[in-house]
């Protein structure tokens, strides 16, 4: 039996499903860096993490004779806006969204017009809380 992989993501913005999303990507930069120290083995002594930067990009096609979702018109300052993301069995919630950029493109005659949105988020939650590789509460503390 062949393994089937997730071939799409399902997105909803505060409960409203986003239809016909062409592309979706999320980047979480943990701003980690090594801590240099005078260690006997010559390796760095550890690392520190800064604030996490969360960037979300969406591309939505514009249907003929219909308006695209006006994601940039949401009042992000006065409302708590969240994006629910389902990819396979994984479910994530990007919380406290804010807008970064919005672009409407019409590449050429006969090509699909698109709305391209770049959002930021202040929080990222794993709704499932587990992984196929390891538990999210993984501890490598020595026993003995």
* Separation between Cα atoms, residue 25 and residue 82, nearest integer Å: 15
Contacts of 119 (CB under 8 A, 6+ apart): 55, 56, 57, 58, 71, 83, 94, 97, 98, 99, 100
Helix (H, G, I), strand (E, B) or coil at 49: strand
Task: Convert the pLDDT of each residue in 33-80 to its tens digit.
Answer: 999 888 888 888 889 999 999 999 999 988 888 888 889 899 999 999
> How many C-alpha atoms does 6 have within 13 Å on its Cβ side?
10
Task: Convert the pLDDT of each residue in 75-132 to its tens digit.
Answer: 999 999 999 999 888 899 999 999 999 999 988 888 889 999 999 999 999 877 555 5
Contact between 30 and 50 (Cβ < 8 Å):
yes
Domains of the chain (ranges plus CATH)?
9-126 (2.40.30)
Band the pLDDT of 1: cuts 50, 70, 90. Answer: low
Comparison of pLDDT for 31 and 133, the residue scoring more: 31
pTM confidence score = 0.78
């Amino acid at each position: 039996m062949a393994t089937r992989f997730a071939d799409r993501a399902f997105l909803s913005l505060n409960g409203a499903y986003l239809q016909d999303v062409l592309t979706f990507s999320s980047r979480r930069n943990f701003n980690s860096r090594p801590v240099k120290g005078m260690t006997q083995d010559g390796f760095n002594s550890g690392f520190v993490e800064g604030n996490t930067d969360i960037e979300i990009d969406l591309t939505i096609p514009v249907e003929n004779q219909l308006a695209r979702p006006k994601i940039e018109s949401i009042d992000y300052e006065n409302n708590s806006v969240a994006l629910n993301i389902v990819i396979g069995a994984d479910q994530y919630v990007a919380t406290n969204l804010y807008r970064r950029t919005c672009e409407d493109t019409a590449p050429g005659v006969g090509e699909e017009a698109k709305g391209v949105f770049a959002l930021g988020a202040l929080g990222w939650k794993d709704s499932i809380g587990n992984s196929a590789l390891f538990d999210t509460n993984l501890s490598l503390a020595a026993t003995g």
